[in-house]
Amino acid sequence: MLTTLLPFLGACLLIAASPGPGTMLIIRQSLRSRRAGFLTVLGNETGVFVWGVAAACGLTALLAASEVAYDVMRIVGAGVLVTFGVRALLEARRGRGRGTAMEGAEETGAPQPSEKRSGWSAYRAGLLCNLANPKAAVFAMSFLPQFVPDGVPHLPAMVVLAAIWAVFEVGYYGLYVWFVGRMRAVIARERVRRRLEQVSGGVLVALGVRMAVEG
């Protein structure tokens, strides 16, 4: 099992290191707060596990075989990414003048008014971003079976691998959240925060548009 696990973890590392919609959303949410960032990670990895279980049960094969279902999901996923991106751009635009108050709250450790309400929305954003991506479903279907050892029951092995994959990425993306938190003194500045919101929002919109136009 160890001879299978080590290559699998290496592959998980390469996958996590490849930037995508989930990565950008995690970074963008981490700009709001460390809590929002971690909950977004948990939401995203819940989606990873769900797709892994679906692949183990053969459900993602149905999605891959149906061009109509795949295209519908692709358009929905594109709409989700564009929505997240536009929201980030609008928040960056509205953020003018709020930087001083936010910076003071962060320096004193006081929770921001919106932070208490953002837990579920951050988790939901990460989950939705992953589940609305048909590529994630098809990738799980093609990725996980390669690491099922010979002679091991297929279904439970793929479920276990999906759980390991999700837990590994929680730790990996948790480093992103930690790094953004360590940079809080710089990020808390209004101009820097707004610029980062603009960049992350623009990238999410671009990824959404690319998903929409891809065949």
Say whether pLDDT at 151 is over 70. Answer: yes
pTM (2 decimals)? Answer: 0.80
Tokens 């439970």 locate to 156
DSSP string covering 24-41: HHHHHHHHH-HHHHHHHH
pLDDT interval class at 115 (50, 70, 90): low
pLDDT at res. 2: 63
Say whether pLDDT at 99 is over 80. Answer: no
Taking only the tens place, the pLDDT of each residue in 8-52 is: 999 999 989 887 888 889 988 888 889 999 999 999 999 999 999
d(CA 81, CA 116): 24
pLDDT at res. 182: 84
Based on the number of CB atoms within 10 Å of its own CB, is 125 exposed (0-12), middle (13-18) or buried (19 or more)?
buried
Taking only the tens place, the pLDDT of each residue in 159-175 is: 999 999 999 999 999 99
Dihedral pair phi/psi, residue 188, rounded to 5°: -65, -20
Q: Which amino acid is at 42?
A: L
